[in-house]
Structure 1
Amino acid sequence: MKIVVIGSNGKAGKLIVKEAVERGIDVTAIARGENKSVAKNYIQKDLFDLTREDLSGFDVVIDAFGAWTEETLPLHSTSLKKLCDLVSGTNIRLLVVGGAGSLFVNSEHTLTVSDGADFPDIFKPLANAMAKALGELRQRNDVKWTYISPAGDFQADGERTGKYILAGEELTLNSKGQSVISYSDYAIAMIDEATKGNHIQERISVVSE
């Protein structure tokens, strides 16, 4: 299996690359700047400059692209569309590092985490941008995509426990009543999904045990 991680210099991207390397998987990293991951195979290129040829030969493309500032939030949609177009009609699977704000909090799937009264206003633009990108992704029947949402409390420097609960479209709490996962445990879940590929054209979510 050959995996490529786009946005490999980000916090999530680096840990996803590390997890893949430690499992002996053939992984290539892609980012704009110099390689900050542990990947030996590296392509220095902007996501928006990638071609179909750049991604041909890979079994799985992992999209760890991130945009956080107000002016760059639309890039969540345009970057995902770009990657979908590159792998459209192929057997290449596209796995997306998603957000938690779009997880549903009711069985009717009409209310999301970001709709909650206690959801911080400062994070709503990001949550809305990522939810919009997910909605557009759901329309892509020409792509073998999987969108993986983390728990509500997504901890960059959290502990690697090696365990997680695989869930679906709804916000799921662990045995302690928490919605939390570390970036390291999320990376485990991401590579598990990359190697097993059980959720084509689905959004799944993960939370620590």
Structure 2
Amino acid sequence: MKVLLFGASGNIGSAIAAELVSRGHQVTGVTRTGKLDNPAVQAVAGDVSDAAQVAELAEGHDLVASAVGPRIGIDNDREILVGATRGLIEGLQKAGGKRLVALGGAGSLRTPAGHRVVDDSHFPEMWKANALAQIEALGLYRETEGLDWTYISPAKLIEPGERTGTYRLSGEDLLVDEAGQCKISIPDYAVAFVDQIEGGEHLRTRVSVAY
């Protein structure tokens, strides 16, 4: 499969690219600079918020993936996330509605107590702008017609770690383990992400991933 991956230079994006390559897929990684450290990925420069560029870059690819995410506390979360979402939606509609798999956020997931993660009194203030922007982005996908998208929310805690190849999948609910924790390693999130690319059974919906 030929996959166009936006945000390929980030921690999560590079893990997704590596997982795709390990499974024999051809990956074109889009970054602002057009540079990547992985020689197995063809690097190109592009702006995900520019629908015309998205449409042009998508040509010749079987699927488009996005791992776009701002640097927390440094970048403008809403401008980046909502801008990327609008660019992807409009660009892929121009390109004939190619399938999209996108990195999402955990803020809108429903906790065991019945409220959203972002509404928890202990939710870190520095993450709120990101969470609210991700919620807005998910709303835009849900309003979109003519595009087969999948939005993949990670666990509350996603960090570097081992690739075990195991995870649990849910929908709107926050997945917690026996200790009440909700976490996933970046490599195992990448496994789940690529499984969705290859499987294609969760169309026009959000799924969540955790141990």
> Which aligned pairs between 1:74-93 and structure 2 lie closer than 5 A?
74-88=79-93, 90-93=96-99
TM-score by length of 2: 0.90
TM-score by length of 1: 0.91
Does structure 1 conserve the Cα–Cα contact (< 8 Å) formed by 2:77 and 2:133?
A: no
Aligned to 1:116: 120
Does structure 2 conserve the Cα–Cα contact (< 8 Å) formed by 1:8 and 1:37?
A: no
Q: Secondary structure at the match of 1:206?
A: strand
Aligned pairs, number? 205
1:94 and 2:73 aligned: no
Calculate percent identity across the aligned residue pairs.
36
Aligned equivalents of 1:162, 1:71: Cα separation in 2: 33
Aligned to 2:5: 5
Point out where structure 1 has 5 or more consecutive residues left out of the alignment: none
Aligned equivalents of 1:163, 1:21: Cα separation in 2: 19
Q: Which amino acid aligns with 1:14?
A: S
Deviation at 1:38, TM superposition (A): 4.2
Aligned to 1:14: 14
Q: Which moved more, 1:47-56 or 1:5-14?
A: 47-56
> Which aligned pairs between 1:30-179 and structure 2 lie closer than 5 A?
30-33=30-33, 34-49=35-50, 50-67=53-70, 68=72, 69=74, 71-88=76-93, 90-105=96-111, 111-155=115-159, 157-179=160-182
Q: Summarize deviations over 1:110-138 as a string: whole Å, max 9, x none.
A: x2101011111221111111111111111
Deviation at 1:72, TM superposition (A): 4.4
Does structure 2 conserve the Cα–Cα contact (< 8 Å) formed by 1:35 and 1:44?
A: no
Deviation at 1:206, TM superposition (A): 0.5
Does structure 2 conserve the Cα–Cα contact (< 8 Å) formed by 1:149 and 1:205?
A: yes
Q: Secondary structure at the match of 2:208?
A: strand
C-alpha RMSD of the superposition: 1.8
